[in-house]
Amino acid sequence: MDNVDGTEHYNFKSNPDLPTLQVIIIDTNPVAWELLKQSSGLGFPDALSQILIFANAHLAFSLSNRAAVIANHLDGAHFLSPAPPGSDLTDPDEANLTPEQQKIVSQQKASQYRVFRILEDEVRASYRRLIKSTTVEDLEKNPNGSALSGALGLALTYINRVCFGGTGGRSGGAEEKVKINSAGGKVDDTGRMMHAKILIVSVTPDPAPQYISVMNGVFAAQRLKVPIDVCKLRESTVFLQQAADATGGVYMEPEHPKGLLQYLMMGFLPDQLARESIILPTKVDVDFRAACFCHKKVLDIGFVCSICLSIFCQPPEGAVCSTCGTKLDVSSLENIGKPVVAPPKKKKKKKVTDSLSESGVASAAQSPAPEG
């Protein structure tokens, strides 16, 4: 009966035109920015101005669009805008200005669009405070420091709050709750009040110890359907390539970092709706190969422990997994490289041993299931 029901032609799934929240994660590691400046001439102040223009462009698209900026600093992640409630927002540098300079500044600010100004003031003030709190020892201790997973965590929890009202994008069981949440504004079927996207402007190398936590963040973004865009100005990276690929975001390594604004505007500005109809300038060949845990070799074919999923380039010594200490059964691997020969016919009752499992014979020999 349902098959001849034609009402679906008339009931178009309403896909409300939702506003977008843009979260920008900026590396604020001074060492990395200095290195970038020496190699390409783009310093942090210029870059920050250009990123702010990008954020303003995003805000200008719609009155209900919003933006958040998170600093991925040496050893921690911090909200630059919106600043944590209760934090001090006075610009530490402004106090030192002469009255005349202050007048000029305030005049400049008076003619600025309020939303832009709030964002810019917050970001600049929070950033100055962040840099003031950073000591030389911190830099020396941790020149490649980055808290990428923390920044991603902050971004995602914030998106969860702003775009989903804290429901985590769960549909189905949470349907009733969503309707309550939607009392005020437009909501799509998953209870999403806003779209969201994350842009990571990165200059630091991959934080290798954070691999698992970064990937956890990436998968959470995937669940929330939040694309992670990556603008990699320095140091090619594997994590962020995989992040952009998994979430459907754009990955770009600008050839001329000085023209950052151009890249940002052309590559990263389009929102979710527009992205459906344009070809994104993303990188297609992503490196998905794995490195083994024993010799750190990059592998095409490797051996994986079935308990802890550690990767080895050859069966470990004594057949004991070096990570979880489990005694492994390697009997199935002994005939690797030898031609696969069908085993002699045995009595039907005989239990199948592992010798079949790895060589691929198992899948071919599906037995007919007893029916009825």
Q: Which of residues 104-123 bind another protein (CB under 8 A)?
A: 118, 122
| CA 269 – CA 57 distance, rounded (Å) | 8
CB 283 within 8 A of CB 292: no
- 């290195």: which residue's tokens? 35
Least Cβ distance, residue 161 to another protein (angstroms): 4
305 lies in the site for another protein, by CB under 8 A: yes
CB 341 within 8 A of CB 322: no
Residue among 49 and 144 whose Cβ is closer to another protein? 144
**CA distances from residue 213 to 145, 281, 328 in whole angstroms, order as listed:** 16, 27, 28
Q: Which of 100, 300, 317, 346 binds another protein (CB under 8 A)?
A: 300
- 């190969």: which residue's tokens? 289
Instruction: Tell me the two tokens of residue 370.
Output: 């007893």
132 lies in the site for another protein, by CB under 8 A: no
Residue among 103 and 343 whose Cβ is closer to another protein? 343
134 lies in the site for another protein, by CB under 8 A: no
49 lies in the site for another protein, by CB under 8 A: no
Least Cβ distance, residue 234 to another protein (angstroms): 6
Instruction: Tell me the two tokens of residue 181.
Output: 């949440």
- 């992670």: which residue's tokens? 228
140 lies in the site for another protein, by CB under 8 A: no
Nearest to 26 by CA among 132, 155, 129: 155
- Residue 32's identity, in one-letter code, is A
Instruction: Tell me the two tokens of residue 106.
Output: 């305030």
335 lies in the site for another protein, by CB under 8 A: no
Residue among 274 and 307 whose Cβ is closer to another protein? 307
Q: Which helix (H) or strand (E) holds 33?
A: helix 30-40
Least Cβ distance, residue 29 to another protein (angstroms): 13
Q: Which of 44, 239, 251, 263 binds another protein (CB under 8 A)?
A: 239
Residue among 98 and 367 whose Cβ is closer to another protein? 367
Residue among 78 and 129 whose Cβ is closer to another protein? 78
354 lies in the site for another protein, by CB under 8 A: yes
Residue among 270 and 316 whose Cβ is closer to another protein? 316
Residue among 101 and 219 whose Cβ is closer to another protein? 219
Question: Residue 81 burial (CB < 10 Å; 0-12/13-18/19+)?
Answer: buried
Least Cβ distance, residue 100 to another protein (angstroms): 28
Least Cβ distance, residue 189 to another protein (angstroms): 13
| CA 57 – CA 24 distance, rounded (Å) | 13
Residue among 125 and 199 whose Cβ is closer to another protein? 125
Strand partners, 20: 195
Q: At what angle do helices 148-164 and 211-224 cross, to 10 degrees?
A: 20
Least Cβ distance, residue 98 to another protein (angstroms): 27
Sheet holding 228-232, edge to edge: 77-81, 66-72, 20-27, 195-202, 228-232, 251-252
Q: Which of 49, 213, 272, 282 binds another protein (CB under 8 A)?
A: 213
| CA 209 – CA 236 distance, rounded (Å) | 17
Least Cβ distance, residue 226 to another protein (angstroms): 11
135 lies in the site for another protein, by CB under 8 A: no
Residues of this chain, 171-210, that bind another protein according to CB under 8 A: 172-173, 205-206, 208-210
What mask of x and - would describe binding to another protein in positions 1 to 40, judged by CB under 8 A?
-xx-------------------------------x--xxx
Residues of this chain, 54-113, that bind another protein according to CB under 8 A: 74-79, 82-87, 89
Strand partners, 23: 68, 198
The conformation of residue 320, written as its DSSP 8-state character, comes to B
